[in-house]
Chains A and B, each alone.
Chain A
Amino acid sequence: MAEIVITGLSKIYPNGAAALKDINLTVADGEFLVLVGPSGCGKSTALRCVAGLEQPTSGTIALGGEVINDLPPQARDLAMVFQTYALYPHMTVFENLAFGLKMRGSPKAELRAAVAVVAEKLGLSRYLDKKPRELSGGERQRVALGRAIVRAPQAFLMDEPLSNLDAALRVQMRTELLKLQRDLQATVLYVTHDQTEALTMGDRVAVLYKGRLQQVAPPRQLYDRPANRMVAGFIGSPAMNFITVRLNHRDHGPSLELGGQTLMLPEDYLESRPGLKPYRQKNLIAGLRPEHFNPAFGDRTKAPAGLQVRVEVVETLGPVNYVHFSLPDPLAGIDRVPFVAALDPAVPATPERGLNLAIEPHRIHFFDPQTGAAL
């Protein structure tokens, strides 16, 4: 296995549209790096540039210290798993698995042994004589994985390999794929649009938006300390709530003007969040994660920061209720901003009734209203 180093990668199409802008990314040896972003953000283009299926406009791609920009895909020693699996329909499972080795001219006996080992590992031994069309979605998925593994390439590229599976199988394959990756100590560059997949699978996650890399960090850090509003809104489900707030600082301490209400903040709040100091008496964007709302009971003075809301819809998921409400955003001149709070089902939330919510002040995220950068 080897590391992949992407330096200054840009891809500009002849019509002037930029798919990728100055991407710098390193996938360490044995690392599972997930490239995530909304559809059309350029993540597949980036993967295809690494694969050699597309030519970057500028920048270099190195595999194990060797620049591979000028090598055609077949000379790069990378294996790719496609979203549609792209199994050869006219070949049996055995032939599909063996194709890569056959192309590299491996001796017959060696090839047979390698295929047998991989088929055993993936539970495909019974299907070796079948054609892809006789297999279920999950089995085809395994064949696609097996075809990549059997060659023992320098690194794996995966383009949304689980997105064609049904929900239950996808969750199962997530763990299986991870186990396999740990076993092989494989370097994996994994592309997905599913932030849950990204958070659960990645050693590190790279968030791509409009062709630019927004943040590369371990999942926990991405969730706790998003670099900007885009990352904050993309990571987490349901998505973070955003609203324009005003940071006031009067004699009785700092407070937030939020949705026409005032949230008291601890006295030393600005000392603990020095990034906020320049924004005193100014507007900025607050981000509140749905799961950080708590019910505030009775005494509002005791609650760290209380909000009075009117419940609109309650979604029951079992372990948690999604309580939908809205707040006015007078600072931005918007009548209603939709909000979601993820609350314990024991909290009595009824549509058309009022509810007192609290949020820990230190869990509020702040973003610059112009740049969207986290503060």
Chain B
Amino acid sequence: MRRSGVLVYIATIAFILLSFFPFFWTLLSSFKPASQLFQINPAFWPQPFTWENYRAIFLERRFYLNIINSIVVAGVTTCICVALGSLAAYGLARLAFRGKTLILGFILVVSLFPPIAIVSPLFLMFEKARLINTYLALILPYLTFALPLTVWLLTAFFRQIPFELEEAAHMDGAGTLRTFWEVTLPLAAPGIFTTAILTFIYCWNEFLFALAFTTNDASRTIPVAIVMFSGYHTVPWGQILAAVTVVTVPVAGLVLLLQRRIISGLTAGAVKG
């Protein structure tokens, strides 16, 4: 018992070190001057410590524009996804109607569609509609691919909520929307947060559509912007590492923040007894 406990502990620490090291190395390296990055025997600590890479991406490259783009696109997509997805999922979970399985299957098929196959037609459409380099050009395709996942996840979550709770709310005098707002939604909160995190991360990391539908530095999202740092002759590793550090921190923070909500939501949702 005790020995296996120690083993689990060691294994966990090893796993954390292993998976955390690349991040840690990225963080350290982002503070190193260019000369030190290409040293044959790499030094562990930045020597001398420098903010130069950060200064360069924010002041020379206006990287904050890309961050704003990413936040807006991912944020708006997530909000719409959760709002539409929870309504659709609620209907699919609660109402009995013909062809429900078919609809769920159809929704799943949409997400199985290879994005690369629709990049060119979409580009032509968006160009005609003068959407290239706008937020909408990214939000629309992101919605199409993120919504199926949202609907599926939330349908499963809504199904777990006992229907009797909603009936009780009706008997207590709450209308359909009021019931959804006061009873169903709070109980589905863990599911909604999980879905929101997954959707946000999907949009935050998406590369293909972002690359195709943005053509200037000011309208790019983070992943594309970072790739565009590289010129014909040079790859500014220091700046790339600094940018990666800057964009990882908010996502990690968001996950940690919402994770707490997920856990508290899960225990609050306990109905059985």
Binding site for B on A (CB under 8 A): 51-53, 72-75, 78-80, 82, 84, 86-90, 99-100, 103-104, 131-133, 137, 140, 147, 151, 157
Contact = CB atoms under 8 A, between A and B. Distances in A.
B169 interface: yes
B268 interface: yes
Nearest to B167: A53
B271 A89 contact: yes
Interface string B162-186: 1011011111111100100011001
A104 B172 CA distance: 9
Given A84-B162, A86-B162, A137-B273, A74 B171 contact: yes
A140 B170 contact: no
Interface in B168-225: 168-175, 178, 182-183, 186-187
B170 A53 contact: yes
Contacts of A137: 273
A89 B269 contact: yes
A86 B164 contact: yes
Contacts of A89: 165, 187, 268-271
Interface string B134-178: 000000000000000000000000000010110111111111001
Contacts of A132: 273
A151 B270 CA distance: 26
A50 B8 CA distance: 58
**Chain A contact residues: helix, strand, loop or mixed:** mixed
Contacts of B170: 52-53, 72-74
A99 B169 contact: yes
Q: Which 5 A-B pairs have the closest CB atoms?
A: A103-B173, A86-B168, A100-B172, A73-B170, A86-B164
A82 B167 contact: yes
A52 B172 CA distance: 12
Contacts of B169: 88, 99, 103
A82 B273 contact: no
A80 B268 contact: no
Contact of A74 (B173, B186, B269, B270): B173
A79, A82, A103 — most chain B CB neighbours (10 Å): A103
B173 A88 contact: no
A2 B109 CA distance: 54
A254 B165 CA distance: 61
Nearest to B178: A103
A147 B172 contact: yes
Contacts of A86: 162, 164-165, 167-168
Given A53-B167, A86-B165, A104-B173, 10 more contacts: A73-B167, A74-B175, A86-B164, A87-B168, A88-B169, A88-B183, A89-B187, A90-B269, A100-B172, A103-B178
A89, A131, A151 — most chain B CB neighbours (10 Å): A89
Contacts of A87: 168
Nearest to B166: A86
Nearest to A95: B182
B121 to A, nearest CB: 43
Nearest to A132: B273
B164 A84 contact: yes
A143 to B, nearest CB: 11
B271 to A, nearest CB: 5
Contacts of A74: 170-175
Nearest to A105: B173
A52 to B, nearest CB: 8
A84 B162 CA distance: 10
A133 B271 CA distance: 7
Contact of B168 (A52, A82, A90, A131): A82
A82 B164 contact: yes
B205 to A, nearest CB: 33
Nearest to B179: A74
Contacts of B273: 132-133, 137, 140
Nearest to B267: A133
Contacts of B174: 74, 99, 103
A100 B162 contact: no
A100 B173 CA distance: 6
A81 to B, nearest CB: 9
B266 to A, nearest CB: 11
B268 A90 contact: yes
A131 B268 CA distance: 9
A121 B174 CA distance: 25
A132 B268 CA distance: 10
Contacts of A131: 268
A117 to B, nearest CB: 18
Nearest to B270: A133
A271 B180 CA distance: 67
Nearest to B168: A86
A151 B169 CA distance: 13
Contacts of B187: 89-90
B170 to A, nearest CB: 4
A88 B165 contact: yes
A82 B170 CA distance: 13
Contacts of B270: 89, 133
Given A86-B162, A86-B165, A90-B186, A80 B171 contact: yes
A137 B272 CA distance: 11
Nearest to A51: B171
A165 to B, nearest CB: 12
Contact of A79 (B171, B183, B268, B271): B171
Contact of B171 (A73, A88, A133, A140): A73
A103 B171 CA distance: 10
